[in-house]
Amino acid sequence: MNRWLVRGFLLCSVAGLPAVGLAQDSNVDKAREALAQQEDDEDSSRQLEEVFQAAEKNYSLQKKGSQSLNYSFDYSYTGDQRIDLQITGGSVRQFDVVPSATHSFTNAFAYDYGLLDNLTIGTRVPLVVKYDTQDELNVYDLGDVSITARWQPWSYVPGTISSTLFGTLTTKTGVSPYEIDINRQLSTGSGYYAVSGGASFNKVLDPVVLFGSTSVAYNLPVEDLNQVRGGRVLQEVEPGFGLSGSVGFAYSLSYDVSLSVSAQLSYSDETVLSFNDGSQAVAQDQMSGFLSMSVGTRVSDTTIVNTSLGIGLTEDAPDFSLGVSLPINISGLKD
């Protein structure tokens, strides 16, 4: 059960709000893998003895030169009501409440490579499918690709808190919400570049692992737009910064099954939209909360399948989400 003492626990993040969400996913996956005993595991006392005798530093990231490839599938549902408001000359010319129901399916591939024992770089490539059942719209396209670096400044010491620093660049490879016909198309990305950074922490209290993560994101402004919105043309968007935090724990139910629970809270600053007539519109800041519960099941000596259920705690969060993730074993990738 003390696999943590020799393997550690990988903590990562990607960017902004997704940043902590992905950090949580990595925390949970590694917790399950560490807490689930395999056939070649030794007893706790033997592992404890070997750890204290080892002269080599133990880090919780990819070993130098090693690689990993993981696949995840996530479904989320968001039901909402949009207000269609148009004001001309100080008078309301149009006011309508339009219901919205969006189904999102994301297939993502995450690749990590160990540059050093304590430095890992990785990328995540999402493929997004969206359906709006109210307006009968759909889209199939690439999402926002992200690149992440994770660094563990200190080697893991049993009984202490382990920390990992991370930085992420999220591109705008997805379909931008600011470059489509909003009445006839859906987006698959944020529409802007984002740079984020933060730290993740974990502490082993065998058979429980406590973990947490925090991050801050800066979203770059977007200019030279030409999107028609009502009677105006959108020309520039200044997205606000983002703050995120999460806490959770993973618990080993048996050698083959583990349970984890985590909560995430994020804050997004207001976004300013500038139009061709010199006017501006401000999207107010938002606070979003999400609760996630997941189960890891070992299906073979090298494979753990993770299934998760997420529930939105605030109005701005998705109503609920379902997910599954597992490692992809490709000959030549694994050492």
Predicted TM-score of the model (pTM): 0.78
* Displacement of CA 10 from its chain's centroid (Å): 14
d(Cα 28, Cα 211) in Å, to the nearest integer? 9
Long-range contacts for 310-313 (Cβ within 8 Å, ≥24 apart)?
310/76, 312/288, 313/263, 313/289
Q: How confident is the model at residue 220 (pLDDT cuts 50, 70, 90)?
A: very high
Q: What is the pLDDT of residue 318?
A: 86
Structure tokens at 216: 């801050």
Amino acid (one-letter) located at 192: Y
Distance CA 273, CA 240 (A): 11
Confidence of residue 78 (pLDDT cuts 50, 70, 90): confident
Residue 229 above 50 pLDDT?
yes
Weakest mean pLDDT among 52-66, 147-161, 182-196, 197-211: 52-66
Confidence of residue 60 (pLDDT cuts 50, 70, 90): low
Alpha carbons 128 and 143: distance in angstroms, whole number? 6
Q: What is the pLDDT of residue 88?
A: 53
More confident call, 20 vs 12: 20
* pLDDT score at 6: 30
Count Cβ atoms within 10 A of the Cβ of residue 239 and give its class: 0-12 exposed, 13-18 middle, 19 or more buried. Answer: buried
Query: By percentage, how much of the chain surpasses pLDDT 70?
Result: 74
* pLDDT for position 328: 85
> Residue 331: what pLDDT?
58
Q: Are 199 and 167 in contact (CB under 8 A)?
A: no
At 206 the pLDDT is 80
Q: Which residue has better confidence, 85 or 38?
A: 85
Q: What is the pLDDT of residues 230-257, one digit of tens each?
A: 788 999 999 989 999 999 999 988 888 8
Comparison of pLDDT for 308 and 50, the residue scoring more: 308
Sign of CA dihedral 269, 274, 280, 281: negative
**pLDDT tens column, 257-268:** 899 999 999 999
**Using an 8 Å Cβ cutoff, are 76 and 25 in contact?**
no
3-state helix, strand, coil in the chain (%, to 5): 10, 55, 35
Give the residue among 157, 112, 212, 117 at the shortest CA–CA distance from 6.
157
- pLDDT value, residue 158: 79
pLDDT at 14: 32
- 129 pLDDT tier (thresholds 50, 70, 90): very high
State the CB neighbour count (10 A cutoff) for residue 216. 16
Q: Which domains does the chain have, with CATH numbers?
A: 4-327 (2.40.160.40)
Average confidence (pLDDT) over 160-183: 93
